[in-house]
Amino acid sequence: MTKPAVFISGAAAGIGKATAERFAAEGWFVGVYDVDVAGATALVEQLGSDCAAGGRLDVTKPEEWEQALADFAAASGGRLDLLINNAGILRAGRLTEVPLAQHQLTIDINVGGVINGCWSAYPYLKATPGSGVINICSASAIYGQPEITSYSASKFAVRGFTEGLELEWRKEGIRVQAVWPLWVNTGLLDGNDTTSHETLGVNLTVEDVADQLVAMARKPSLLDKVKPTKVHTAVGMPAKTLATLADLVPSFLTREVNRFIAKA
Ligand SMILES: NC(=O)c1ccc[n+]([C@@H]2O[C@H](COP(=O)([O-])OP(=O)(O)OC[C@H]3O[C@@H](n4cnc5c(N)ncnc54)[C@H](O)[C@@H]3O)[C@@H](O)[C@H]2O)c1
């Protein structure tokens, strides 16, 4: 297999699907894995078996990661150039309006799924020179968000996990990064209205995020050996502005800006 290979979790819909389509168009061999088997299979058929392989993966289940990665490696010639931990859910509402089990599921999928993915993919990443991981984080990891508290907490965990693993794996030649979109127009938002949507709007498309991921997937240049790659990348001007502000202004101001956005 001469094509670089990317494995995407939660690839049957939304950002994952657009990203799979975009990487396939760029000549990558794409792993389309999702708990939605029908959606994953339909996308593999659409992309063609010379461009994609895919099937079932519940990211909360380590044994399903093992199977999915083994199947993918068999189709990709053993290559895993890039793992994109994309699968995620959102359950919006004030803390006690959302059933406790849904908060727990949010953590299991959004955090556990990322940890399971990196843990299980390590041997394949290690065996593929110049490989990397991109975790889909969120602008909700800039400051804790009301009405999506457990989702926001899950993305803070993804942020911390990414930072720690980047330091661990840098010497091994495996890049670890995260992208931070603000609201993107996908099914994730269906039935999940928040005040933050109303204040900030939903201004990003799935293609915006897919473009960013393709741009980050380039092989490291000589410069990267001297200057390590950026760990976090905000997507879109509002997310870049909020992230920059949070770095520059005193924390009480960040807190007030977020209170204003959420009208809390
Ligand atoms: N949409 C946004 O506003 C937004 C903003 C920032 C970050 N994100 C993040 O982007 C990622 C993708 O979200 P999206 O907006 O495309 O959502 P989406 O709902 O459109 O798609 C999510 C996909 O993940 C799959 N999935 C859900 N649970 C899974 C599981 N246990 N195992 C495997 N697959 C599972 C779903 O079947 C679906 O195909 C998520 O991590 C989300 O948190 C989304």
Name residues whose C-beta falls within 8 Å of residue 119's C-beta, 6 or more positions apart in sequence: 62, 65
Residue 219 has pLDDT above 90, yes or no: no
Tokens of 91: 């359950």
The answer, yes or no, to whether any atom of ligand 1 lies below 6 A from the CB of 131, is no
- What's the pLDDT score for residue 51? 98
- In DSSP terms, which residues pair with 7 in a beta bridge? 31, 83
Q: Are 56 and 80 in contact (CB under 8 A)?
A: no
Chain-centroid distance, C-alpha 103: 19
In this predicted structure, what is the pLDDT of residue 227?
A: 75
Instruction: For Cα atoms 54, 204, 84, give the angle at the middle one, nearest 5 degrees.
Output: 30
Task: Name the residue at shortest CA distance from atom 41 of ligand 1.
Answer: 88
* Full residue range of the structural domain in which residue 220 is found: 5-262
Phi, psi of 121 (to 5 degrees): -85, -10
* 19 close to ligand 1 (CB < 6 Angstrom): no
Mutation test of ligand 1: which of 109, 188, 196, 205 has the most ligand atoms closer than 8 Å to its C-beta?
A: 188
Query: Is residue 57 lining ligand 1, measured as CB closer than 6 Å?
Result: yes
Residue 226 is predicted with a pLDDT of: 75
**Residues carrying an active site annotation:** 151
Query: How many helices (H) and strands (E) would you count in the chain?
Result: 11, 7
DSSP 204: B
HEC string for 114-159:
HHHHHHHHHHHHHCCCCCEEEEECCHHHCCCCCCCHHHHHHHHHHH
Distance (angstroms) between ligand 1 centre and the Cα of 250 equals 32
Q: What is the pLDDT of residues 238-256, one digit of tens each?
A: 999 999 999 999 999 999 9
In tens, the pLDDT along 50-101 reads 999 999 999 999 999 999 999 999 999 999 999 999 999 999 999 999 999 9
Q: What angle do CA 7, 12, 16 make, to 5 degrees?
A: 55
CATH classification at residue 170: 3.40.50.720
- Domains held by the chain: number: 1
Rounded to whole angstroms, how far apart are CA atoms 210 and 20?
Answer: 8
pTM, two decimal places: 0.97
Residues 87/30, Cβ–Cβ less than 8 Å: no
Does ligand 1 come within 6 angstroms of the Cβ of 14? yes
Contact 230, 198 (CB under 8 A): no
Give the count of beta carbons closer than 10 Å to the beta carbon of residue 77. Answer: 11
Tokens in use for 90?
């959102």
Contact 194, 140 (CB under 8 A): no
Distances (CA, A) of 236 to 144, 205, 252: 19, 10, 24
Of 112, 108, 17, 31, give the one whose Cα is nearest residue 69. 31
pLDDT digits (tens, 9 = 90+) for 182-208: 999 999 999 999 999 899 999 999 999
Looking at residue 220, its pLDDT comes to 65
* Cβ atoms of 30 and 23 closer than 8 Å: yes
